Structure 1
Amino acid sequence: MEQIRTGTDTDHRGLFENPTAAFRPSAYWFWHSIPTEEVCHAQLSDFKLKGIGTILIQARLAMPRDDYLSPAYLEAYRTAAGIAARLGLKLGIYDDYNWISGHAGGRTVAGRDELRERHLFWSSSEKAQGEISGIHPPFTRTMGADIVEWQYEGSVFEWCEWTVEAALLHSSAAIGSLDEVIDVTARTSIVDSDHAACAYAFDGTIEDGQMLTVFVSARSTTSRLINYLLPEAAEQFVAVGLDPLIDVLGDLVPDPVSFVFYDQPAAGFYKWDQISGSLGNSLLFAPSLIDAVASGTGEPFAKSLLALLRDVGPTTLQLRAGFYAAYSGLMNEAFSGTLRRWAESKGIELTGHEILPHISAWSLNGGFTSIDPRVALAVDFFGIDAYRHQTAVDSNNFVAQLAPKIGDSVARSNGRSRCVVETYASAERTPVRAAGQWELTLETMRAQAIRLYCLGTRQFLWHGVYQTDGRDHDPTPFANPRFDFGPGINFEPWWSYHDLFAQETARISAFIEPATPRAPVAILYPLQTAYAEGPRHSHATHIGAWCEGLLAKRCDFMFVSEADLIKARIDGGRMLVSGLAFDAVILPSASVLQAAETVQALNAFSAAGGMVVSSGDRLSTVRDAAVHSDAIVSKHIDRMPGGSDIEALLEALPSFGPVIAGRSGEFPWQWVGQDADGWWRIVLFNDGETPMVSEITFGDGFDCEIWSAATGTTERMAAFNRLTVTLEPQEVRCLRLRQTTDRVVGEGYLTTQPPLDRARSVSLVEGWTFAPEGSASFAPISVESGWETQGFAEFSGTGIYRLALEIGDEAEWFLELPDVATVVAARLDGRQVDRLGWRPYRFSLGRLQPGIHSLELRVANTAANRYYADTPYVGDTVDKSGLSAAPKLIPLIH
């Protein structure tokens, strides 16, 4: 995107001061009905004012499906895009109704039944007859009746065209090789079927000690989801779902509408009564899969299928890896390839994200644990990303997690960098995940955004801003917009402070953009192991342990593919690939590799002095060759890596660039990278509750610049041989360093804490009055407990605190608020002093004369107490609101 490429020019300071839309927060704009022109103008103007740079219109379940892509919908879409253009907002096409790209609100399969999802089911028994029955999508069904109705016509799961695709006779005990397996597909047939089940029969005899495994395909008659193995399904999706949008947008493409965004393309994750074996869900099926698998495995399709379920001898892991590689490649090309070619034909870019089984976790499959990701676009992240023009990933809730690191890694492998991170909130106080987190605070979301930037994010994508806040007294998830993965952040009482978040975080992203990250450790993404061993294998948890362990010590890392290792250049004991330099490569319980060249590359790196560390399972199989060598490993850890293993690795790594040391056991979040001109960029962030102190050294001395993300200004400091940086809770610092031989001034100190005379502090406990905004009835209130405990339990909004403030001595005074829920603006004598959205809540009141001054604090809480009231989602307690500790008045030390 041009708006991103702007970040690579020489005007880094200008980009930092005024970041382009590529670095500003973006958001899904949830349409719950077709909006009027007035609504479009009012909301888009508001989004622009609050600092959002890019909007993606998304029709949600509350909108009647028939309205989606109707003439009225398309007219409103064009109107909204035109308004956005005039406001200077960027737009992206969110490509479907609700989510799960490809169905176009059901239009893709309307009149084209052959495009509906078709799956392979199987049954193993010692009998010549059997059945496939009880098919259901548990992942979908757990989300409720409205989701089922959206995905399935009539809310029923029905099937047709039952076909035996493979039938195999084999030992009921161990299988020594595929030669022992007998293909009896031609002798097995469907003998009875209806919309819910089928019966099959084999016309031969099953001997003692034998078992029959039958694979049956069936096409859904009711699912609106498509068969992602069929390019014609993607072509029809384009014709009925995307072309109408492009056509109506006309000259608004490619500016401001410059990209299309897909979201979690995935067919149903079905289970059934007879499911067994190593594969946890049904497989999509199309006739093209037969030849693709035979070519990828070198074995007949039917026998390769059996290897997915059980051990078939020494080639089992190779067969599985080859099968899933063929399956994924076919799906990638059929769906993603079709979308990319269409996007390029329209002059726009393709982005979006696949299913991420690691959502909200560090373990590779620690998120969606109920699915087997091998049946979806959900394992070959490097291959999937090769079809995108820009990388996007998914992130759940407000904790550090794997997704952005994977996103940045695959982007760099494919010649780009960094990623968009869609962030959504699922409820934590209730099992109904869609009820969201209306208790979200601005401080929480800001902290998450900064962590995401440190992990490889360029742009924060909100899920989302809402057209409406839904209906009272209706706890229905999804259908009531209020509980469709809330919060709709523009209906939060703190929304008017969002511009503070947007401006600061955009500058942090723009500050990071020109530099190459210092990531001395490469973690091999064990794709072939993931294919062959499945999601419950130890590679998943070993990845999580390495990631968390390295980050705890603030050592950055990237994931690399086998292709990256093969093409890497080795120089001075370092591995150079994708613009990065690695001193160590980690193999996280990687039991299967694809290429002998990977082994050769790792051996060459090790021989040149690089470190190759493995943990868990050792390499046992290389798909394309009968080779195996322990020599590639410098060190093997036969268990889950722990803190001592991380420390041993880091001690062995050479030092490169600035050194950041903590004075305590806790370290601030950090990002370190180097500009092309040799300057280093450092981001430090304290997401804790107490101050943190770090010491920076760099050779014998270094120049230092401070880049203020809050103001966009830059300041050149003196040269130091040591810089001590004190970070208050929630404080972030952007620094630029360059080693120097000039005379230095010794040690420097960097802090935002003013020198306050705390011995003379005054606790402002008494005399406060309070009223909700809009009310003229002020009444006394305690500032030592929140307003939710003082008669306003269900009030969400802005509460106004007032105090006649008596100043005894002329001085420079500061006001500190020890506990605020959640944002606050201070006014003194009718003049706004400042507004703050996160800690530290400290206001500089200026030099005050003795006498009585009027102090007003306008505090906004979250929407939780209002929106969760009288619903099953309220929880055991109400959310804190307002002031819950007495403000302090503190003079500056003279």
Structure 2
Amino acid sequence: MEQIRTGQDIDRRDLFENPTTAFRPSAYWFWHSIPTEEVCHAQLADFKQKGIGTILIQARLAMSRDDYLSPGYLVAYRAAAGIAAKLGLKLGIYDDYNWISGHAGGRTVVDRDDLRERHLFWMSSGDLRGEISGIHPPFTRKMGSDIFEWQYEGGRVEWCEWMVASALLHSSGEVGSLDEIVDVTTQTSVVRSDGVSCTYAFDGEIKDGQTITVFISARSTTSRLINYLLPEATVRFIDVGLDPLVEALGDLVPDPVGLVFYDQPAAGFYKWDQISGSLGNSLLFASTLPDAVLQNTGQPFAKTLLALLRNVGPDTLRLRAQFYAAYSALMNDAFSGTLRRWAERKGIALTGHEILPHISSWALNGGFTSIDPRVALAVDFFGIDAYRHETTVDSNNFVAQLAPKLGDSVARSNGRSRCVVETYASAERTPVRAAGQWELTLETMRAQAIRLYCLGTRQFLWHGVYQTDGRDNDPTPFANPRFDFAPGINFEPWWGYHDLFSQETARISAFIEPATPRTPVAILYPLHTAFAEGPRHGHATHIGAWCEGLLARRCDFMFVSEADLAKARIEDGQMLVSGLVFDALILPSVTVLETKKTVRALETFRAAGGVVWSSGDRLSTVCDATDPVAAVASTHIDRMPGGSDIDALLAGLPPSGPVITGHPADRLWQWVGYEDNGWWRIVLFNDGAAALESEIFFNDGFDCEVWSATTGKIEEAAAFSQLTVTLEAQEVRCLRLRQTTHGGAGDGHLSNQPALDLARAVSLVDGWSFAPAASAAFVPISVETGWETQGFADLSGTGIYRLALEIGDEADWFLELPDVATVVAASLDGRQIDRRGWRPYRFALGRLRPGVHSLELRVANTAANRYYANTPYLGDTADKSGLSAVPKLIPLTH
């Protein structure tokens, strides 16, 4: 937090050239055992050298739980923090063992069974007796036995203290109103129970056409997870899990240890044999919940529960929305609020991320599709973020996704901006997701980081760097560190090039920092619709369609909450809120709103000339309205929004700032923002394999500065009437410009492509030799296919290619490597020319005299062929390695 404020106060050019740790990559440091001081010295120095700015120590499943928070662990933790301080690294406290914050490696519930998770289960029947049985956590179970045994003592799911929370007698058919529901809780009791099931009995009469729905609460006897509705559970977690770390760190808090980081606090997502209705998982339960629900709904807790499962008349959606609002608020304050108050007493920042059901997706619930997010900290993102000092979100794999955009939105709504994005890799070529992606390349990682910055990220958090690379001949996920959401990037052969990635991406983030993003479109985050309708409703997929469609047309957007709309200022047909300016607002299949204030704000915006569009289902319920609700006046489409719809919306918006085009459009990423002084900042990224061109227009002319993220250098402004920017494959450009009038200013062209004489290109096909290590013998090799097909299938490391390069004509020569897997350093006559971690793989060899020169290429691949060998995770073919296309020698044009 302090680093960001400092970054805004110092000279912006210096910040760009030398980004602070707020902008540099951060990483989890996986501890698989208690490290020695020597290991801490060696690894932390290595992380520093590779450009990482912040480290979060995380004990993983390979470490014994007995070692976690032991005296030896705390001594090592303190030693590591001290070493980090001397190196100029920052540290954050990752708050738990493995993940799912709150359990403190199981210590929270030791001798405090009352803090273990307690859930509500239910069933509907026409019988006087019924049984709840077959309770299981499919979300946890599918991750394997090691995870299951870590979360549950003895690897068993067992329960106790079965109690009837509510019993309702109602029609088996349609229920017209709450008045038709009879509360028979006092006539219903548990008559038999054991650790896995219970039987209830109703002491009354069930007539034909009637059904009884019974809600029963039970507390787990074996789960190490806590009841997140209880603030005392969080207090206990702090006492046994966080305070020991802070006490051990002593004067190293708050510098270099300046934050605490929580990770996916969530109780089990249980299902059982008798589950039915609109709610997909069990609910947490605490004695405080009924009163909270009564206060928010005005209706008895028992009858409100039934509305969660089925239609109970015209108040159904309102009751659901208000129930989950009360439930979420109770959970938010009990866990996040308690943590925040503790963090502020310690003088450190609270950050971390909740479960994000949209992970790796644009649809709001397109990631974790097996869970109902309403039962966890997983829907009210604006409310959750209000408790944090800095926003963090989670992202999976290497595709553009919703998380950073929603993270930036909630941060701005709560008076901040941008976010940290944790990125982890899950396997795509095997069903065992924890096997990860040892085939990850630095180019893939870099491209994802740049996409994330364009979507609202400030800091890239990698999951993670490893203490050890694990064991051979053991494919066990999680317990073998090698397959704990690999890769551990410091064990990738390309790790030595990570500093190139760190420096460039940190500068991109620092370049974006001083500017406000141009966001013509706001999307209303439909919180109460999500509460009322559930994750399978159309609002989730409509959000995805709007987001992808807008980005495909390079139109930036931000999410706003109902509270944002209530405080928005309307001026000249624009909506000003959270420091942003919007010309249009989208309602994505919104059926339920919290308050009439939102409707009035939308009407005011539209009346002032603002653009309002809606799609899918129309508004039907406003929670604080007593009268029937009319649809919000908008341009409405009943279907999923398509390209023509988005084109029509954008055609009605006023132009603002520079105009950017690009060919082909689907490979050009951009970020556009403005400073207070009239300057604009633009990031352009070619996310493709071939060059593309982008054109920039800004009224009658503009000045443009070029800020090089590679070198940190800034070219002084030049005047243009329009500017064509050629972007090579994977090239990124940072440009700063302002509108001006320069008589006679002409068209400009920016390109890093040298003027090469392609007609005189020489293909270097023959004469190559290869060694798998510097100490090994060299053998002939083809450069038309990778080394994995030429007898080195298991080689993961640096292979050395050599060629006696004969130069016939004196000229300035360039070496082009069309296909490299994955990084390469080139040397000529014993002198290193340069290193490349991503395309284009081009090296300026300088002016060479005729004769024979010694060319050496050191190529590092990924670790996949080494670590996936003899496991089920390798796939059908070995990972591509080395050179697989003929290098070319090309002179500069005379």
TM-score by length of 2: 1.00
8 Å CA contact 2:774, 2:800 repeated in 1: no
Which residue in the other structure is 2:312 paired with? 312
The separation in 2 between residues aligned to 1:231 and 1:588, in whole angstroms, is 35
8 Å CA contact 2:681, 2:737 repeated in 1: yes
Which residue in the other structure is 1:758 paired with? 758
Quote how far apart the aligned CAs of 1:629 are: 5.6
Quote how far apart the aligned CAs of 1:436 are: 0.2
8 Å CA contact 1:34, 1:72 repeated in 2: yes
Aligned 1:14-53 pairs, distance under 5 A? 14-53=14-53
After superposition, the Cα gap between the structure-2 partners of 1:667 and 1:867, relative to the gap in structure 1 and judged at 3 Å, is closer
What secondary structure sits across from 2:86 in the alignment? helix
The separation in 1 between residues aligned to 2:387 and 2:513, in whole angstroms, is 23
Which residue in the other structure is 1:482 paired with? 482
Quote how far apart the aligned CAs of 1:773 are: 1.8
More deviation, 101-110/617-626: 617-626
Which residue in the other structure is 1:531 paired with? 531
The separation in 1 between residues aligned to 2:744 and 2:433, in whole angstroms, is 56
The separation in 2 between residues aligned to 1:716 and 1:256, in whole angstroms, is 37
Which amino acid in structure 2 is aligned with residue 202 of structure 1? F
The separation in 2 between residues aligned to 1:318 and 1:494, in whole angstroms, is 55
Alignment coverage as a number of residue pairs: 894
More deviation, 665-674/550-559: 665-674
Aligned 1:265-344 pairs, distance under 5 A? 265-344=265-344
Which amino acid in structure 1 is aligned with residue 251 of structure 2? D
Which residue in the other structure is 2:468 paired with? 468
What secondary structure sits across from 2:699 in the alignment? coil
Which amino acid in structure 2 is aligned with residue 323 of structure 1? F
The separation in 2 between residues aligned to 1:630 and 1:773, in whole angstroms, is 74
Which residue in the other structure is 1:824 paired with? 824
Quote how far apart the aligned CAs of 1:775 are: 2.9
Which residue in the other structure is 1:769 paired with? 769
Which amino acid in structure 2 is aligned with residue 558 of structure 1? M
Aligned 1:197-596 pairs, distance under 5 A? 197-596=197-596
The separation in 2 between residues aligned to 1:600 and 1:273, in whole angstroms, is 46
Report Cα offsets for 1:207-255 as digits up to 9, x if no partner: 0000000000000000000000000000000000000000000000000
8 Å CA contact 2:133, 2:273 repeated in 1: yes
What secondary structure sits across from 1:813 in the alignment? strand
Which amino acid in structure 1 is aligned with residue 825 of structure 2? A
The separation in 2 between residues aligned to 1:807 and 1:449, in whole angstroms, is 40
8 Å CA contact 2:667, 2:688 repeated in 1: no
After superposition, the Cα gap between the structure-2 partners of 1:37 and 1:50, relative to the gap in structure 1 and judged at 3 Å, is same
Q: State, as a whole percentage, how many aligned pairs show the same letter.
A: 80
8 Å CA contact 2:620, 2:630 repeated in 1: no
Report Cα offsets for 1:286-340 as digits up to 9, x if no partner: 0000100011111000000000000000000000000000000000000000000
The separation in 1 between residues aligned to 2:455 and 2:673, in whole angstroms, is 12
Aligned 1:174-193 pairs, distance under 5 A? 174-193=174-193
The separation in 1 between residues aligned to 2:111 and 2:736, in whole angstroms, is 60
Q: Tell whether 2:40 aligns with 1:73.
A: no
What secondary structure sits across from 1:766 in the alignment? coil
Which residue in the other structure is 2:727 paired with? 727
8 Å CA contact 1:396, 1:426 repeated in 2: yes
Quote how far apart the aligned CAs of 1:699 are: 1.2
What secondary structure sits across from 1:238 in the alignment? helix
What secondary structure sits across from 1:215 in the alignment? strand
What secondary structure sits across from 1:853 in the alignment? strand
The separation in 2 between residues aligned to 1:492 and 1:469, in whole angstroms, is 10
Aligned 1:678-697 pairs, distance under 5 A? 678-697=678-697
Report Cα offsets for 1:499-541 as digits up to 9, x if no partner: 0000000000000000000000000000000000000000000
Quote how far apart the aligned CAs of 1:666 are: 3.5
The separation in 1 between residues aligned to 2:620 and 2:670, in whole angstroms, is 37
Aligned 1:757-836 pairs, distance under 5 A? 757-836=757-836
The separation in 1 between residues aligned to 2:667 and 2:260, in whole angstroms, is 39
Report Cα offsets for 1:739-795 as digits up to 9, x if no partner: 112335210000111000000000000000000123330000000000000000011
TM-score by length of 1: 1.00
Q: Tell whether 2:142 aligns with 1:145.
A: no
The separation in 2 between residues aligned to 1:9 and 1:708, in whole angstroms, is 22
Quote how far apart the aligned CAs of 1:634 are: 2.7
Which amino acid in structure 2 is aligned with residue 205 of structure 1? E
Which residue in the other structure is 2:850 paired with? 850
Which residue in the other structure is 2:194 paired with? 194
The separation in 1 between residues aligned to 2:491 and 2:533, in whole angstroms, is 45
Which amino acid in structure 2 is aligned with residue 490 of structure 1? N
After superposition, the Cα gap between the structure-2 partners of 1:663 and 1:134, relative to the gap in structure 1 and judged at 3 Å, is closer
Which amino acid in structure 2 is aligned with residue 654 of structure 1? P
Which amino acid in structure 2 is aligned with residue 402 of structure 1? L
Which residue in the other structure is 1:624 paired with? 624
The separation in 2 between residues aligned to 1:287 and 1:586, in whole angstroms, is 39
Which amino acid in structure 2 is aligned with residue 399 of structure 1? V
Q: Tell whether 2:646 aligns with 1:661.
A: no
8 Å CA contact 1:718, 1:745 repeated in 2: no
The separation in 2 between residues aligned to 1:630 and 1:785, in whole angstroms, is 66
The separation in 1 between residues aligned to 2:298 and 2:655, in whole angstroms, is 47
The separation in 2 between residues aligned to 1:633 and 1:140, in whole angstroms, is 45
Which amino acid in structure 2 is aligned with residue 770 of structure 1? F
The separation in 1 between residues aligned to 2:376 and 2:391, in whole angstroms, is 18
The separation in 1 between residues aligned to 2:545 and 2:633, in whole angstroms, is 19
Which amino acid in structure 1 is aligned with residue 158 of structure 2? E
8 Å CA contact 1:357, 1:366 repeated in 2: yes
The separation in 2 between residues aligned to 1:629 and 1:737, in whole angstroms, is 48
Which residue in the other structure is 1:739 paired with? 739
Q: Tell whether 2:863 aligns with 1:863.
A: yes
Quote how far apart the aligned CAs of 1:8 are: 1.7
After superposition, the Cα gap between the structure-2 partners of 1:807 and 1:392, relative to the gap in structure 1 and judged at 3 Å, is same
What secondary structure sits across from 1:394 in the alignment? strand
Quote how far apart the aligned CAs of 1:494 are: 0.1
8 Å CA contact 1:621, 1:627 repeated in 2: no
The separation in 2 between residues aligned to 1:104 and 1:869, in whole angstroms, is 35
Quote how far apart the aligned CAs of 1:691 are: 1.1
What secondary structure sits across from 2:108 in the alignment? coil
Query: Any stretches of 5+ residues in structure 2 without a counterpart?
Result: none
8 Å CA contact 1:719, 1:743 repeated in 2: no
The separation in 2 between residues aligned to 1:107 and 1:122, in whole angstroms, is 30
Which residue in the other structure is 2:602 paired with? 602
Quote how far apart the aligned CAs of 1:690 are: 1.4
Quote how far apart the aligned CAs of 1:32 are: 0.1
Report Cα offsets for 1:440-479 as digits up to 9, x if no partner: 0000000000000000000000000000000000000000
Which residue in the other structure is 1:839 paired with? 839
Which amino acid in structure 1 is aligned with residue 308 of structure 2? L
The separation in 2 between residues aligned to 1:626 and 1:767, in whole angstroms, is 84
Q: Tell whether 2:639 aligns with 1:639.
A: yes
Give RMSD over aligned pairs: 0.8
8 Å CA contact 2:620, 2:631 repeated in 1: no
8 Å CA contact 2:807, 2:852 repeated in 1: yes
Report Cα offsets for 1:643-662 as digits up to 9, x if no partner: 00011011111000000012
8 Å CA contact 1:359, 1:403 repeated in 2: yes
8 Å CA contact 1:666, 1:692 repeated in 2: no
Report Cα offsets for 1:355-378 as digits up to 9, x if no partner: 000000000000000000000000
8 Å CA contact 1:397, 1:424 repeated in 2: yes
Which amino acid in structure 1 is aligned with residue 675 of structure 2? D
8 Å CA contact 1:761, 1:890 repeated in 2: yes
Quote how far apart the aligned CAs of 1:716 are: 1.5
The separation in 2 between residues aligned to 1:594 and 1:679, in whole angstroms, is 39
Quote how far apart the aligned CAs of 1:718 are: 1.9
